[in-house]
């Protein structure tokens, strides 16, 4: 009985605890939820045009996902310091981290645009080497190229939103990014309907219309976040005098680079690893690309809970560490990880029950729909595992343990997950769903490592004192 009470006290919080966690997590969930739900609707719209169009857009979005996570890694390194500076109420420290973020995202964006302009076609063609007709592969390449060329200007507003929104969240201000994101996705949805299908007198532009709608919505989101933040400077002290200079003190820059570079490399290599996994699966044919696109879009809607709770760990635990409250940070972290895993058990059950119905929304062939159902069901089975890994990752990151997170995340995906996928896809005749399952099972090793690192408390560290 005493053991049960001790376990309950360790992993279950009181009413005020969950109010505090949900105050941070719910706005992130709402923003991500609406964004991913509208992305689902966008995806269905493109999927109604044809399999090649859907696959071309899916491949480009997989490549842009690498860029997105590069940005995330670029701002997250500085974000560790932002959260801890904010916990100390050091607004000048927060301001300096924002300046670093601006430099970092600008460099990443310029490099990405040059890369896509020079080798965009060969990157897309990496995913077109599986089974399928030459005509289908050529059409997929053409649609992917059209989509990518239009998407590139939208990287500039996207990078600025990442700087501002990440800083606002790290300072506990999650409402504005949520509102801006919600408005942007509805703009995207409406414009998609008009431009993809040619409604209200507009010409039907297909995948080009989808790209145009996306970049317009990104400029809308950027305008809302930047204008509101600067107009309400009294509520956001870090913005006051932000652009008086863009210089970052050399000592702080070296600290951020030391802590943040492994994080940037981690996000980049992890995203590249997921792209490589998709390439391995695509060896089984173009229908796999279509099925993964359907599955990933649906999964993103359900993943919002553990993603938001993971980000909340970084914010809440990071602030406690910055304030020097180590015991409270450990206790809070235990309860947040348990809450994330339990929540995802419930969501996974719901996802399993609905898995067979989602692919029916798409205008694609029967094989792609069947594969998509298998992928959705497998993702549901492994969702609690992924929730634990996500929360563990952000726990380690909150204490500045970026070398460990680099090994934990990107080194693992390349040395274990990609190796499993590469060998099984090329040297066995296993069905692609079985290959996918074995890759997920490889993460059991990662779960054990994460559990030991979190339990040992290697992340209990104040890095800004």
Which tokens is 8 given? 């309950």
Q: What whole-number distance in Å separates Cα of residue 79 and Cα of residue 317?
A: 13
| Res 75: pLDDT | 85
Residue 279 pLDDT? 86
Q: Which of 357, 348, 282, 364 is nearest to 44 (CA)?
A: 364
Q: How many domains does the chain have?
A: 1
For residues 341 and 366, is the Cβ–Cβ distance under 8 A? Answer: no
Is the pTM here over 0.75, yes or no?
Answer: no
More confident residue, 236 or 165: 165
- Residue 114's pLDDT is what? 94
pLDDT surpassing 90 at residue 378 = yes
| CA atoms of 234 and 81, how far apart (whole Å) | 22
pLDDT of 2 reads 64
Q: Examine residue 444 and state whether it is found in any structural domain, yes or no.
A: yes
Predicted local confidence at residue 246, as pLDDT: 82
Residues spanned by the domain of 27: 2-456
Structure-block tokens of residue 106: 């600008």
The verdict on residue 25 lying in a domain is yes
The whole-angstrom separation of Cα 63 and Cα 116 is 9
What confidence tens digit (pLDDT) does each residue in 107-157 have? 999 999 999 999 888 988 888 876 667 777 888 889 989 999 999 999 999
Is 211 a domain residue?
yes
Give, as one character, the DSSP assignment of residue 201: T
Q: Which residue has the higher pLDDT, 170 or 101?
A: 101
What average pLDDT does the segment 312-328 reach? 81
In angstroms, the CA 296 to CA 292 distance is 6
Judged by average pLDDT, the poorest of 29-33, 181-185, 361-365 is 29-33
- pLDDT over 90 for what percent of the chain? 25
Average of pLDDT values for 301-329?
Answer: 81
Closest CA to 172 of 311, 315, 328, 29: 315
281 by DSSP, 3-state: which? helix
449 within some domain = yes
- In the prediction, which pLDDT does 251 show? 81
Residue 154 within any structural domain of the chain: yes
pLDDT at 3 over 90: no
Query: What is the rounded CA–CA span in Å between residue 271 and residue 174?
Result: 25
Cα–Cα distances (Å) from 409 to 218, 223, 264, in that order, read 29, 34, 12
- DSSP per position, 122-182: HHHHTTS-SSS-HHHHHHHHHHHHHHHHHHGGGHHHHHHHHHHHHHHHHTT--HHHHHHHH
The label of the residue with tokens 């994101």 reads: 181
* Of the candidate ranges 58-72, 375-389, 393-407, the one whose mean pLDDT is the lowest: 393-407
Task: Name the percent of the chain in helix, strand, coil, to the closest 5.
Answer: 85, 0, 15
Distances in Å between the Cα of 367 and the Cα atoms of 100, 323, 364, 374, 420 are 48, 55, 8, 11, 24
Q: What percent of the chain has pLDDT over 70?
A: 94
461: in domain = no
Residue 268 lies in a domain: yes
Residue 445's CB: how many other CB atoms inside 10 A?
11
Which pLDDT belongs to residue 130?
61
Q: With bands split at pLDDT 50, 70 and 90, how would you rate the model's confidence at 1?
A: low
Who's near 56: CB < 8 A, 6+ residues apart? 124, 139, 140, 141, 142, 143, 144, 145, 146, 147, 207
Closest to 285 (Cα-Cα) out of 354, 206, 360, 370:
370
Q: Place 252 in a pLDDT band, splitting at 50, 70 and 90.
A: confident
Asked if the structure places residue 463 within a domain, the reply is: no
Three-point CA angle 60, 65, 68, nearest 5°: 130
């Amino acid at each position: 009985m005493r053991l049960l009470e001790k376990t309950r006290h360790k992993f279950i919080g009181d009413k005020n605890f969950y109010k505090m966690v949900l105050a941070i997590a719910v706005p992130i969930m709402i923003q991500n939820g609406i964004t991913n739900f509208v992305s689902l609707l966008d995806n269905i719209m493109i999927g109604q045009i044809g399999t090649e169009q859907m696959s071309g857009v899916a491949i480009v979005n997989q490549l842009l996902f690498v860029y997105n996570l590069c940005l995330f890694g670029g701002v997250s390194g500085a974000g560790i310091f932002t959260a801890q500076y904010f916990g100390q109420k050091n607004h000048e420290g927060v301001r300096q981290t924002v300046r670093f973020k601006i430099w970092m995202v600008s460099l990443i964006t310029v490099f990405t645009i040059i890369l896509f302009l020079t080798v965009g076609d060969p990157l897309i063609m990496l995913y077109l080497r599986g089974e399928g007709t030459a005509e289908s592969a050529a059409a997929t390449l053409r649609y992917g190229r059209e989509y990518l060329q239009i998407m590139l200007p939208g990287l500039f507003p996207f990078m600025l939103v990442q700087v501002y929104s990440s800083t606002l969240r790290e300072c506990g201000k999650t409402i504005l990014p949520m509102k801006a994101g919600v408005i942007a996705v509805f703009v995207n949805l409406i414009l998609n309907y008009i431009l993809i299908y040619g409604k209200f007198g507009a010409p039907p532009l297909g995948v080009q219309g989808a790209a145009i709608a996306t970049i317009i919505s990104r400029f809308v989101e950027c305008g809302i976040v930047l204008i509101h933040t600067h107009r309400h400077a009294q509520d956001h002290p870090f913005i006051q005098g932000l652009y008086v200079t863009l210089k970052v003190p050399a000592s702080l820059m070296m600290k951020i680079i030391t802590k943040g570079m492994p994080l940037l490399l981690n996000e980049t290599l992890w995203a590249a690893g997921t792209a490589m996994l998709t390439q391995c699966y695509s060896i089984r044919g173009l229908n796999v690309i279509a099925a993964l696109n359907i599955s990933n879009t649906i999964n993103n809607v359900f993943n919002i809970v553990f993603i938001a709770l993971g980000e909340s760990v970084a914010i809440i635990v990071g602030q406690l560490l910055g304030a020097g409250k180590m015991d409270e940070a450990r206790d809070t972290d235990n309860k947040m990880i348990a809450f994330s895993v339990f929540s995802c058990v419930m969501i996974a059950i719901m996802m399993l029950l609905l898995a067979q119905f989602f692919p029916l929304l798409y205008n694609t062939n029967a094989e792609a729909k069947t594969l998509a159902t298998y992928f959705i069901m497998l993702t549901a089975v492994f969702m609690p595992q992924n929730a634990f890994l996500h929360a563990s990752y952000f726990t380690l990151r909150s204490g500045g343990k970026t070398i460990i997170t680099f090994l934990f995340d990107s080194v693992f995906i390349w040395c274990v997950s990609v190796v499993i996928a590469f060998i099984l896809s090329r040297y066995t005749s296993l069905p692609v769903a079985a290959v996918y399952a074995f890759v997920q099972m490889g993460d059991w090793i990662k779960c054990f490592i994460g559990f030991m690192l979190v339990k040992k408390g290697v992340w209990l560290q104040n890095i800004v004192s």
